[in-house]
Amino acid sequence: MPELAEVEFFRRRWQEAAAGERVLRVLAHARARPLRGLAPSTLRRALAGKRLRSSQAAAKQIVFRFGADAWLGVHLGMSGELRVEGPDYAPGRHDHLALFTGRHALIFADPRMFGRLQLHTGRAAPAWWKAIAPPLLSPRFTIAAVAAFLRRRARAPIKAVLLMQERFPGIGNWMADEALWRAAVHPQRPAGSLAPAEIRALWRECRWVARHALRVIAGRGGRLPADLNVGIPDSWLFHHRWEAGGRCPRTGVLLRRAEIGGRTTCWSPARQKP
DNA sequence: GTGCTTGTTGGCCA
DNA sequence: GTGGCCAACAAGCA
């Protein structure tokens, strides 16, 4: 599920509940796939006794900093989520990591187990964190960079190219469809076939979707929405992508769906021409 | 039972 | 070496 804004939503859940709290107990299962071989004893040594200091989200990744030198990396994969439970919570089948403070249990759950936890110890940020591409909303995400990337991936469908994290960090299936729909670009178009004006529009709409998704999903003014996605306006493609007989919010025509770039893709034939 | 699912990776091939 | 495609990973849901 989680793309850019959902990832930020989950980061804030842990951060706002437990910032400054000390980890007293660490619970993890050695066999849990999201640990990727990371030993529970290693996690325990690195985190127990330390306070949750700060955290950041970038692309689809989160890093939580504990104490002076521990970095806990979280990738939520397809079905991961972060929850906050009470201090007496008993972890269930899909809860792969539980960090107990005196007041809370911070839970990482992931039924499909495509998610990944990483641990790094040291003063400086880990290499995998520093390697994440510049955010969509940073000045380094330029039209020129997008244009160059599209030239390099000229023969791939633009939908597939938008999913490449090395240039579009945080964009996933629904954000890609949303940006293409707003930019009026058909998802099957070869990336190299886009005119400069279309590249500019797509660049602009990627940023628009990122900015507004962060606002409505992850909140603003210090308030975290109670639920994911409830704030997304009906005028977005988002709510209509999966519904049977779904219609384009702008033109009213029936939406179309097909597998493009290996992913189910939704578009409005009235706005997006092959 | 069937056929999906908001992600990533590695192997194969041109 | 680079780019593009696909299967695999796994569990839940309709």
Asked if A177 CB < 7 A from strand B, the reply is no
| Chain B positions with a protein C-beta closer than 7 Å | 4-8
pLDDT, tens digit, 9 for 90 and up, residues A83-141: 999 999 999 989 999 999 999 999 999 999 999 999 999 999 999 999 999 999 999 99
CA of A230 to C1' of C10 (A): 28
Helix-helix angle A173-183:A196-218, to 10 degrees: 130
* Nucleic strand B contact set for A 32-51 (CB, < 7 Å): none
Distance CA A273, CA A244 (A): 22
Which nucleotide lies nearest residue A156, CA to C1'? C4
The number of C-alpha atoms within 13 Å of A67 and in the hemisphere containing its C-beta is: 14
Question: Active-site positions of A?
Answer: 2-3, 60, 263
Residues paired with A230 in a beta bridge: none
A89 C-beta less than 7 Å away from strand B: no
* Residue A135, C-beta contacts closer than 8 angstroms, at least 6 positions apart: A58, A59, A141, A169, A170, A210
- Determine the nucleotide nearest to A157 by Cα–C1' distance: C4
pLDDT at A201: 97
- Give Cα separations from A238 to A229, A242, A248 (angstroms): 9, 8, 10
Handedness of CA A159, A134, A201, A193 (dihedral sign): negative
This prediction's pTM: 0.94
pLDDT in tens, A30-54: 888 898 889 999 999 999 999 999 9
Q: Separation of CA A218 and C1' B7 in angstroms?
A: 20
State whether the beta carbon of A156 lies below 7 angstroms from any atom of strand B. no
CA of A105, C1' of C9: distance in angstroms: 29
Mutual angle of helices A196-218 and A143-152, in 10-degree steps: 110
A93 to A37, A110, A111, A261: CA distances (angstroms): 18, 9, 8, 33
Q: State residue A221's pLDDT score.
A: 67
Residue A160 CA distance to nucleotide C1 C1' (Å): 22
Q: Angle at which helices A196-218 and A4-18 pack, to 10 degrees?
A: 30
* A237: its two tokens: 């493609």
Cβ atoms within 10 Å of A9's Cβ, excluding its own: 23
